[in-house]
A and B are shown apart, each in its own frame.
Chain A
Amino acid sequence: MPQIQLGLGVDSTETIINVIKMFALFLLMVQLVPLLVWVERRGSAFIQNRYGPNRVGPLGLLQLLADAVKFLFKEEFRPKKGVAFMYYFAPIMALLPGALSFASIPLSVPITLQGENWGPYNFVLQGYDLGIGIVFILGISSLGVYSLLMAGWGSSNKYSLMGALRASAQAISYELALSLSLVGILMVYGTFSFTEIVAQQQGPLTFNFMGQQQVWSFLPNWGIFYQPLGALLFFAATFAEANRLPFDLPEAEGELVAGFHTEYAGFKLLMFYIGEYGHMLVASCLLATFYFGGYNIPGVTPAEVTAFFASYVGEGNLSQILTAVTYHVSLLLRVLLFLWVFIHVRWTLPRFRYDQLMDLGWKTMLPWALFNACATAVILWLFQS
């Protein structure tokens, strides 16, 4: 009988641990939403010189817990003319892209655990490593469009439908610039795998110039130094993909009430928000992974960090775990910084008009992304030969 590789582990223990880990990563994404909403509301309050939520719990931190409980006990409502299946499936579907993409991003260095009577076990802080990371995420994040369209159609409301059409047209338009801006990164690293991309960003900045290797030891080997224009285009396109201001035309209040989620209330509305914040989280993780060294700490290697911890707690599992935690915090700092940039931009820039938005996507960002890919190819060729 041929052995089928299930990608879940070598034995049943490992399989169970991996399944639990995947669900834990999903819950990690879900529990980040209340925190981010709190940061968004408090942050916007400080930007606009007011207080924001500050009554429930210390600093208003429990506000979103209270909101979630309230959402749970809301009346179930469905517009009579709507299509029931689409109306209910859209918010469930909104959870999928964020959750599936987030699980494929490596969050820290792998831990090798060794017990007295159980073999070395490799624990990776990543839901699954498919080896085709970038293509997988691009494919999965496009599924978000189905959620928008189902919400718009299922509500049978003209505001919802128009919002959904706008949102999906915007999402697919900016997906072109998004995927084209990644071609440069693929050329530089020559791989689809996130783990390999992060591994290649270790150490000082190293590149070939006129056939000779140059090492700039004062800069880390991060993608942003190879792809500055690509990073900018990618960052701008993720705003449009996540329907965040200045690209949140689907819910332009002045004209479309609330866009595709006009007819939604309670927890169903919250699920759209989980999807949106999940999208932001994935975008921030990708930005860190492609352009800012992933979980790498500039100047040290994982082996050195493990040796440092081993000098305090001794060699073994604990030093490995401490190393992984340190590297995870290193990634988390970057991700939180980018999430804050997402929020800060929302409360700083005004919204585009729809024709401006489509012009920016098709006539500005797409040509620039194409230019970035061509320039990268030519420069690599000139420097290499």
Chain B
Amino acid sequence: MSSGALLPVLILAVMVLTFGALLIVGTGLLGPRKVIKSAAKEMPYECGLPGQETKDTKVSVRFYLTAILFILFDIEIIFMYPWAIQYMDSLKDGSGGYMLGVMGVFVGLFVIGLIWEVKSKALDWK
């Protein structure tokens, strides 16, 4: 596949982004001109209390942990894709047993990783 084959994707992406931007600009132009501004209105939404927002809201470290684990596992899964594509062909030409063994080792490592991850309580949200 040449790099030019992705050009339609780029064209559609530009069209969609332009469409979205025009909508936002358009609603800005069509909306009411006279708007009442007040400090309470521009405050971040809060449910009946005075807002106490700061920019650096603390969030649980579990989210970062999940993201790191996702990257590891996602890459491992993506490695299975080219193998899966070739599998049927190699079954037909007789090298299926070898392919299965190779993938067995890889999946074994994957499973060990997953078990270790569950054991180390990295996935517990309680």
Contacts and interface: CB of A to CB of B under 8 A. Distances in A.
B91 A7 contact: no
Contacts of B70: 172-173, 175-176
Secondary structure of the A contact surface, majority rule: helix
Contact of B8 (A8, A135, A175): A8
Contact of A95 (B16, B43, B107, B126): B16
Contacts of B47: 257
A23 B15 CA distance: 7
A72 B66 contact: no
B123 A363 contact: yes
Interface string A1-35: 00011111000000000110011001000000000
B66 A6 contact: no
Contact of A363 (B45, B67, B107, B118): B118
A92 interface: yes
A179 B23 CA distance: 34
A158 B27 contact: no
Interface residues on B, range: 35 or more
Given A6-B7, A7-B4, A271-B20, A22 B88 contact: no
Contacts of B123: 358-359, 362-363
A354 B125 contact: yes
A7 B8 CA distance: 7
Interface in A181-197: 183-184, 186-192
A19 B12 CA distance: 8
Nearest to A190: B88
Contacts of B9: 100, 128, 130
Contact of B80 (A91, A132, A373, A385): A373
Contact of B53 (A127, A157, A268, A271): A157
A88 B35 CA distance: 19
A157 B20 contact: no
Contacts of A79: 42-45
Contacts of B74: 172, 175-176, 179
Nearest to B89: A190
Contact of B84 (A22, A26, A183): A183
Interface in B1-53: 1-2, 4-9, 11-13, 15-17, 19-21, 23-24, 26-28, 30-32, 35, 41-45, 47, 53
The 10 A-B residue pairs whose C-beta atoms are closest, nearest first, are A92-B20, A355-B125, A186-B84, A80-B42, A128-B8, A157-B44, A190-B88, A7-B5, A172-B70, A76-B28
